[in-house]
Structure 1
Amino acid sequence: MKTIADIANLAGVAKSTVSRYLNGGSISESTKMKIERVVNNTGYVPNTFAQSLKAKKTNIIGTIVPRLDSFASSQILIGIDEQLRNLNYQMLIANTAQNLDREIESLYNLYNQKVAGIILLATQITDIHLEAFETIKIPVILVGQQHDNVYSVVHDNELAGFEIGEYILKKGHRKVAYLGVSEADIAVGVKRKEGFRRALNEKDGCEVRYYETQFAISEAVIRAGEIIDSFHPSILACATDNIALGALKAAHVRGLNIPTDLSITGFGGYEVTEIIHPALTTIKFNYTNAGRDAANGIIKLVNGEMFPMITSSEHELIERESVDSKTIER
C-alpha cells in the first residue's frame, strides 16, 4: 500500500508537494503531470479521511446514534450513507448506547475531529444539548425529534397516532389499551400518544387505559402480560413494533389467539412484522428516506444554503392480520 512518502520518492518531489497536489493546491503543470503519472501507475488512493481532517473545510459528517441494533437506526443510517456518498461526503458514526452523557460527549468529540456537520438521531433534547449546539457552532440536524431552534427531520407522530386510533375505532374496538414509553421521549412518548388520545376522545363509549414500558421487547412482554391479566382489552395499541412483538409473545404465553382474543397494533413498519404470523398491523415510517433528507439537509447547511427548520417524513398504515373486527353495539 503506497503512502504519500512513496509517491513523493517515485515522483522526485517533496511530500509537501504531493500533499498540495492531493488537496488542490498550487503546483507547476510539469510537477502535476509527474505526480499524476506516479499516482496512475501505482493505483494510489489517498486517505480522504486524513486529508479531510487537515483541510479547513472537511467532507466528513458526524452521525450520532443511540443504538446500533435498532431497525429504525440502521435504515436511517443506510439513507444517510447513500446520500452522503452521492454528494461526495463521508459518514463518521458515534454510538451512544442510549447514554445521554455519551451523546453530549460525542457532540464535542466529533467537533474536535473537525467534522463539517452533525446528524443526531435523538431520543430527547435537553438544555445541555442546546448548550452543546451553541458551543460547537457547526450545523446540526436532528432526526426523530423536533426542537424549535434546531433543524429537524421528523415523522408526523401525532398524525400517525391519530390514524391508528381512527383505524381501531372503525374496526369496532371500544375496550382499548395503549402501551407507550416514557414522555421524556417527546416524539414516541408524547406525540404518538397525543394523536391516539385525540382520536379516541372523539368517540363516546370507549374505555381506554394508557400504560408505559421500555423499548426493549423483554420489558414489553412483562408489561403487556400485566395489562392483559388486569384489564382484558380487546385491542392493545403499542407505541413501537418491538413493543408489539413483546405483546404478541405475552399473548401467546397465555394461550390467546391473535386477533380473535386480542388484537395488536404497532408503529414502525419493521421488516419482521410482515413475516411473523399473524402479520402485524402497523404504521410504516420510511426511515431510509428520512436519512436521505437529513443528509441532503446537513450538506445544504454546511454550504450555507437554505433548508427548512422542520422536514416531515411520510408514513402509511399497513393493515395486516393482527386486528380483528368487533361488532359495534347500537
Structure 2
Amino acid sequence: MAHSSVRQIAADCGVSIATVSRVLNGHTSVAPDTRARVEAAIAARAPAVLVPRRSTIPRSGPVFVRCPYLLSDYFGLIVSAVTETLRLQDRVVHLDAGESSQSSHPLATLAGSAAGAILVLPPEDPAELLALRRRGFPFVVVDPRTRPTPDIASVSAAHVTGARRVTAHLLELGHRRIGVIAGPQEWLAGSDRLAGHHAAMGQAGILSDPALIRLVPPTLEEGFEAAGHLLDLPERPTALVCFNDKIAVGALRAAQARGLDVPRDLSVTGFDDIDISRATTPELTTVRQPLEEMGRTAVALLSRLMNRDKVEALHMELATELVVRGSTGPPS
C-alpha cells in the first residue's frame, strides 16, 4: 500500500500511521476495536489489500478440508486427492464433509483454529469468502460456485473449453439440431458450460434454439425427465449435450424408453468422466475433468499461501479432455 494511502487511513480512523502499519503487519499490540476500525477503513479505501493476522493463524496447524456434499464419485475423487496429498506433506487434516458440514464449521471459525483450508464448491456468499481472505487466512476454493474475486485463490476445470469441444464434436459428425440439458446457471460450471456450447454453435453459424435447452439439477432422474421432453418434441433433436454424466445416463434411459438406438437414432454426450460414464451401453462420450489433479493442485497452491510465498496466479484452470466413446455418431 502506498504511504499516502496509509496516511489517509490513519486520518480516517484518528490513529497514528504507526498503528495502521502495525495492523497491516499483523502485530498484536493493537486494541481489538482499533484494529477493526482500521481494517474497515483499509477495506473501504483499498479493497485489494489483505490484512494479515499472523498471531491467530498458525503456520504448522491442521488444514481444514471442507466439502458440504456427499462424497460421491465426483466430490470423493477431489477430496481423496486433497487429503492424500496433505498427509504426504505430514499435515494434520480435519475433514469436514457431508450436508451438515457448513453449519458445524462456519467460515468465521476457521481463521483461529487452522493453518489453512481447502473449500470444495463452497455455498457461502462471495462476500464471506472475501472477508475471510482479508483477515489473512490462507485458503483455496476448488470448483468455485461463483466467479472468484481477484484476491481469492481457486482451482477449477476449463469448463468453457470442454463444452465447446464436445459440441464441436457433434457438429463435425453432422448434427445441427442439438438439444442441451445444462445445470443450474447460478453455478459457475453450469453457466460456463452453456457458454461453451453457444460458442461452438456460433462458430458454426448456428443460432442455439431456446426450445432445445433445459436447465435442471444434475441428477439422473432430472436428466431422464428433461430428455423425455426434448425427445417428445414434434421435431426432436438428433443429439443431446448433457453437462453432467448422471444427466446423460438419464437421457440414455429416456431414449431407450422410446425405442431409440444410441447412437444410430440419437447421440448423447456427458461431462465429468466419472465411473458411471463407462458403465453404460454404449459407453458415454464425455468431457474428462482432471478431478484428482484439481485436488493436488489446490494443495500445492495452499502450501505456498501458508508459507507466505509470493503467488503470481491465484486462479488456475486445468485443461479438460474430450473422450469419444460409443454414444455419439453421425445423424441417421
TM-score by length of structure 1 reads 0.75
Closer, same or farther: CA 118–103 of 1 in aligned 2, 3 Å? farther
Partner residue of 1:323? 328
Partner residue of 1:67? 69
| Correspondent of 2:300 among 292, 296, 301 | 296
Partner residue of 1:122? 121
Closer, same or farther: CA 298–104 of 1 in aligned 2, 3 Å? farther
Contact persistence 1:152–1:309 (CA under 8 A): yes
| Correspondent of 1:264 among 268, 273, 277 | 268
Contact persistence 1:104–1:132 (CA under 8 A): no
**What is the CA–CA distance in structure 2 between the aligned matches of 1:68 and 1:251, rounded to whole Å?**
29
Q: Does 1:276 align with 2:280?
A: yes
Which amino acid letter does the alignment assign opposite residue 273 of structure 2? G
TM-score by length of structure 2 reads 0.75
Contact persistence 1:59–1:88 (CA under 8 A): no
| Correspondent of 1:305 among 298, 306, 309 | 309
Partner residue of 2:226? 223
Deviation at 1:137, TM superposition (A): 3.4
Deviation at 1:104, TM superposition (A): 9.5
Deviation at 1:138, TM superposition (A): 0.9
Deviation at 1:259, TM superposition (A): 1.1
Deviation at 1:109, TM superposition (A): 3.9
**What is the CA–CA distance in structure 2 between the aligned matches of 1:72 and 1:105, rounded to whole Å?**
22
Which amino acid letter does the alignment assign opposite residue 198 of structure 1? A
Deviations 1:251-306 (A, max 9, x none): 12222211112110011011221232100000111110110000111111111113
Contact persistence 1:174–1:207 (CA under 8 A): no
Q: Identify unmatched segments of 5+ residues in structure 2.
A: 1-55
Percent identity, please.
24
Give me the CA root mean square deviation: 2.4
Closer, same or farther: CA 127–275 of 1 in aligned 2, 3 Å? closer
Partner SS for 2:317: strand
Q: Does 1:95 align with 2:76?
A: no
Which amino acid letter does the alignment assign opposite residue 170 of structure 1? E
Q: Identify unmatched segments of 5+ residues in structure 1.
A: 1-53
Contact persistence 1:104–1:129 (CA under 8 A): no
Alignment map for 1:1-330 (pairs within 5 Å) = 56-95=58-97, 97=99, 102=102, 105-112=105-112, 114-122=113-121, 126-134=125-133, 137-145=136-144, 146-147=147-148, 148-186=150-188, 188-204=189-205, 208=209, 209-230=212-233, 232-307=236-311, 308-326=313-331
Contact persistence 2:68–2:97 (CA under 8 A): yes
Which has more radius of gyration?
1
**What is the CA–CA distance in structure 1 between the aligned matches of 2:266 and 2:87, rounded to whole Å?**
46
